[in-house]
Structure 1
Amino acid sequence: MSSTEQQTGTVERVEIASRFLKETREVHVYLPHNYSQLYKYPVLYINDGPDYMMMGRMISLLNDRFQDRLAGRFLVVFVPVDKSRRREDYHPEGARNEAYIRFFADELVPMIEEKFAAFPMGPARGIMGSSLGATAALHTLLSYPKKFHYLALQSGAFHESSFASVAGRRDLATVPVYQVVGLQEDQFKSGSGKVIDILALNRQMRDLLQAQGVEVEYGEYDHDHTWGFWQEDLPRALDHFVRHTSF
């Protein structure tokens, strides 16, 4: 191999039969090119996994990132969702939201830590998502605050039940949160045709999290509710994850 040839990580497909969702999910696990079972790695779990892989171009980003031998290594688990049932799984009032969260925490995480060299502690486990996937990430951590200690929220589509669930949760004070939103997201039109002020919702969530003692790294950028924005933001989000999950 020449010194200029890029070393690429591998992506393993793993199936997990969920008793909570009553179906089999296939997740994709990214391993850095120098992954070794002799070490333990932090893990970033990502909602809407296939979209982050394709539209977020995250595999290429990770490969580029890990060319630097000093870059902090971690594993990434891309978790898929059936787009036709996304709201049922991700919305806090969705019919399958509780089942999805239990699948995520009680089935997916133990399987990943059994099969891969993942550091089995809450501070080494993070969850990331965009839009409604960010909302699902938040509620997963709220349901399992000892199992997950990190959140990355891109343009969260938060709901009233989200704010009610965060209020009074002083146990979140040790959770580092990365949160971004676009300045052009004040007139986002949802799939149902409803106009939502995503920008205002994120400002409200930032303020509420900070009121619980949470350290929030918050940013607003001149973008709208699109994958172009979230892809551009990924290097910042991953830098934040590494800074707060290094062991």
Structure 2
Amino acid sequence: MFMSLEKQPPGIVERVEIPSRFLGETREIHVYLPHNYSPLYKYPVLYINDGSDYESMGRMISLLNERFQNRQARRFLVVFVPVDKSVRREEYHPAGSKHQAYVRFFADELVPTVEERYAAFPMGPARGILGSSLGATAALHTLLTYPRKFHYLALQSGAFQDASYEGVTAKGRELATVPIYQVVGLQEDRFQSASGKVIDILGQNRKMRDLLQSAGVDVNYAEYDKDHTWGFWQEDLSRVLDHFARHTSF
């Protein structure tokens, strides 16, 4: 996809520990820096829920390294935010016992730490969030809670809840300037969750798209003949990164 006459070195992934008073523990994040990162410049930042899964099953480090082989490709930083699977629902689900604490950690501790340590644009339009399934739901609710702090959203097969629709209905007008990338698979109409519940992810995403568009939000929406798996999301990531780069130009 991206070609260069001279092969560029890979980027660097740094591990950073963040003591969180909201979560009551220390959380580790992984920060991807392009090979030619320089503190003399300022970079947009894409924050990612389920960070470890995007690194491993999403193969995102390799994708970023390939992308930045092109010297003209717009550089940005990527922050992978891992989650303990045993508390994932409690942190990501809007009704989860740790959800509000996680959202506050994300906006009030994670972002300031990244911007203190790295040359990141300290502005809402330069901050984006990506997530898949329930991680997409958490991304949406983080933006709904902090609409001035984040101005970009990428949603892969969001597992939206009633609270998600209510939040967009109540605050949708505040998102009118937020570019949103949203994809879902046509085979996700009967997704079976770990609890055995059958969920119409496809229908949920169509409803969310309609609500966002009715609020005047610019939604780049697409459906593919795919199912609720990492194979789909990994294949889609190059489109996500293209969209993010186009909408966070400084």
Q: State yes or no: 1:226 paired with 2:229.
A: yes
Unaligned stretches of 5+ in structure 2?
none
Percent identity between the two aligned chains: 76
Separation of aligned partners in 2, 1:168 and 1:92: 15
Separation of aligned partners in 2, 1:7 and 1:25: 29
Deviations 1:142-195 (A, max 9, x none): 000000000000000000110001003211100000000000000100111100
| Paired letter, 2:69 | Q
Unaligned stretches of 5+ in structure 1?
none
Q: 1:1-247 alignment to 2 at 5 Å?
A: 4-169=6-171, 170-247=173-250
| Paired letter, 2:240 | A
TM-score by length of 1: 0.98
Separation of aligned partners in 1, 2:163 and 2:13: 36
**Shift of the alpha carbon at 1:31?**
0.1
Q: SS at the partner of 1:148?
A: coil
Separation of aligned partners in 2, 1:87 and 1:168: 24
- Aligned pairs, how many? 246
| Paired letter, 1:79 | V
Deviations 1:48-71 (A, max 9, x none): 000000000000000000010110
| Contact kept in structure 1, 2:180 and 2:218, CA below 8 Å | yes
Q: SS at the partner of 1:168?
A: helix
| Contact kept in structure 2, 1:168 and 1:212, CA below 8 Å | no
| Contact kept in structure 2, 1:9 and 1:63, CA below 8 Å | yes
Separation of aligned partners in 1, 2:97 and 2:174: 27
Separation of aligned partners in 2, 1:108 and 1:71: 26
Instruction: Give the alignment's Cα RMSD to 1 decimal.
Output: 1.0
TM-score by length of 2: 0.97
Deviations 1:183-221 (A, max 9, x none): 000010011110000000000000000011100000000
